[in-house]
Each structure stands twice: as structure tokens, then as C-alpha cells.
């Protein structure tokens, strides 16, 4: 498993940023740099590429592309990093991995201080899973980085407003250069298309059955918790977000207008919400 590291590698405190389902660790470049700058270099920020994505290896068995395996990988990473204290920032799937990992952190000697859940909670709306299923695993070939960025925008406009420059910068790490069948240089998406295999097997009944376990994990959280939500999110409902402010760690809720699933943590107000929460004394 590859990871990107920012700041002081010997710092006692680590912020671990874990990305969404079809994304990769470079999504957090802007946030990581802001955290390092505002902390005056006193922390370490680590942004892994979850297995099957980015620079990390692909699995031989695609059925391994599921949250329990991802959580075990994160525990192995934390055992390697050995932070004295930990903050976790999880976007969508990264938040679910955080919930799955939270009750096992003591096994690797790590204390979770603060948790940021970015547009995700114990209840995941079925309509959002259906929407994601329409494009997940369709890597495609693109003649240029700009063409790929344009294609990704067609399925990612719910991320909210971005300048063309911001979107291209966010898109470039999502691509890898390859040769097509004709030997031409093209670009493909960075992830193993087989990550869609276990995702496609999830039924509405299975998703509903998992909610009880996720609520149990959420209710056991003792870390200070910040819940971010795109005001137009189709994955995290207003009702679920409200419940998350009333039970378990009683998350502080911040919503962003004009944004759906999920905030990319690039816009200044989104970055400031996370940085201010994590660096508050």
C-alpha cells in the first residue's frame, strides 16, 4: 500500500486522510498542505492509496475489495507509522473505513483524538449506491488529461463548483498513462476496475442489514467528531446527519451549500472547517 506523506515525519501527532471509493490519496493535497502550514510543520499528514487505487497494488481476488480488508490494511499502516496520537479524516468510503477501524486502534497502540466524517454516516442512501454503480469499474481510455478530466466531471459535478484549473489538478492523479490496443499513448483511470465486483453484489437488503453494525461502531466513538455534509448530498441524508449530532459522539455538523456528494476539501471554506477543527486547542 502506497501513501503520501506531508509535514514532519517524526511528529508525535499524525492526521490520516482516507479517500472515497474510486479516488486516491492525492485528493488531500490542498488539505494536507494547509494543515502543515497552519501547524507550522509540527504534524505529519499521511494520505494512503487504498489497495487497488493510485500507486497501491491490485488484489488478485477482487472479493477483497471490501471495508474489512481496507480496515485491516489501515491498522497495518498505523502499526508501521506508530503515531502517538491520531486524527482521522475520511471521505465517503474513507469514513466507513474509519468507523470499522476505530474499535481496533488500541490493538496497534493508537489513540484516536479527533474524527472527521466527510459526507458519510451509518445510513447510506440506496439511490446513491445505484448512481455510483452506473460508472464504477468503467475505466475507459482518454486521448489526453483534459479529455479525461472532462469525462470525470460529467459524473462528478455533484462535488460542487471548481475552477477548470482546480478540476484538472484534482484529476491528473486519477490517471495513468498506458498503451491502447493500437499501441497509442492514452490515459486510463488509476484504479483496478475489479473494485466494482463486490460493490455490484450489494443488495438493498444487505445495505440495510449493515446499518445496525455501523451505528454500533459510531455510537462507540469517543473522539471529538466533525461531520461534513454537502447540502445536496444524495448519500448522507439530512435525517441521518441530524441523528449523528444527537447520539454517539454527537458530531458537530457543517454543511456546504451548492455541494452534493462529496465535498472535495479544496474550497477555502471546506479546508478551513477541517483545519480549524483539527488544530483547535
Annotated domain spans of the chain: 3-125+202-279
In this structure, what are the phi and psi dihedrals at residue 237, rounded to the nearest 5 degrees? -80, 160
For residue 160, cis peptide bond before it (omega within 30 degrees of 0): no
253-267 core/surface letters (b: 16 or more CB in 10 A; e: else): bbbbeebbbbbbbbb
CA-nearest of 19, 244, 261 to 128 is: 261
Question: Cell numbers 472527521 label which residue?
Answer: 116
CB 161 within 8 A of CB 176: no
What pLDDT was estimated at residue 41?
86
pTM: 0.95
In this structure, what are the phi and psi dihedrals at residue 88, rounded to the nearest 5 degrees? -125, 125
**What does pLDDT average to in each consecutive run of 10 residues of the chain (281 residues)?**
96 97 96 96 96 97 96 97 96 97 93 97 92 86 94 91 94 92 90 93 87 95 97 96 98 97 96 97 84
CATH number of 3-125+202-279: 3.40.50.1820
What pLDDT was estimated at residue 43?
96
Distances (CA, A) of 77 to 101, 103, 112, 218: 12, 16, 15, 22
User: Count of residues for the chain?
Assistant: 281
Instruction: Give me 78's grid cell.
Output: 498505523
CB 94 within 8 A of CB 20: yes
Amino acid at each position: 500500500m502506497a501513501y503520501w506523506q506531508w509535514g514532519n515525519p517524526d511528529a508525535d501527532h499524525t492526521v490520516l486522510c482516507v479517500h472515497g471509493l474510486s479516488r486516491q490519496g492525492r485528493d488531500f493535497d490542498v488539505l494536507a498542505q494547509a494543515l502543515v502550514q497552519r501547524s507550522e510543520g509540527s504534524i505529519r499528514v499521511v494520505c494512503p492509496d487504498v489497495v487497488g487505487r493510485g500507486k497501491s497494488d491490485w488484489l488478485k481476488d477482487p472479493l477483497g475489495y471490501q471495508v474489512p480488508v481496507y480496515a485491516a490494511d489501515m491498522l497495518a499502516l498505523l502499526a508501521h507509522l506508530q503515531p502517538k496520537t491520531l486524527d482521522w479524516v475520511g471521505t465517503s468510503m474513507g469514513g466507513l473505513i474509519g468507523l470499522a477501524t476505530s474499535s481496533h486502534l488500541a490493538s496497534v497502540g493508537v489513540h484516536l483524538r479527533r474524527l472527521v466524517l466527510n459526507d458519510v454516516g451509518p445510513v447510506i442512501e440506496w439511490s446513491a449506491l445505484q448512481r455510483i454503480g452506473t460508472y464504477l469499474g468503467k475505466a475507459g481510455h482518454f486521448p489526453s488529461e483534459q479529455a479525461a478530466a472532462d469525462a470525470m466531471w460529467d459524473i462528478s459535478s455533484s462535488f460542487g463548483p471548481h475552477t477548470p484549473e482546480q478540476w484538472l489538478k484534482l484529476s491528473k492523479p486519477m490517471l495513468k498513462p498506458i498503451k491502447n490496443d493500437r499501441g497509442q499513448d492514452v490515459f486510463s483511470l488509476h484504479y483496478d476496475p475489479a473494485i466494482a465486483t463486490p460493490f455490484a453484489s450489494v443488495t438493498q437488503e444487505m445495505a440495510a442489514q449493515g446499518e445496525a453494525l455501523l451505528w454500533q461502531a459510531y455510537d462507540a466513538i469517543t473522539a471529538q467528531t466533525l461531520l461534513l455534509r454537502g447540502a445536496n448530498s444524495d448519500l448522507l441524508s439530512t435525517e441521518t446527519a441530524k441523528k449523528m449530532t444527537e447520539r454517539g459522539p454527537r458530531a458537530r455538523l457543517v454543511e456546504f451549500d451548492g455541494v452534493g456528494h462529496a465535498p472535495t476539501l479544496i474550497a477555502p471554506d471546506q479546508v478551513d472547517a477541517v483545519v480549524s477543527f483539527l488544530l483547535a486547542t
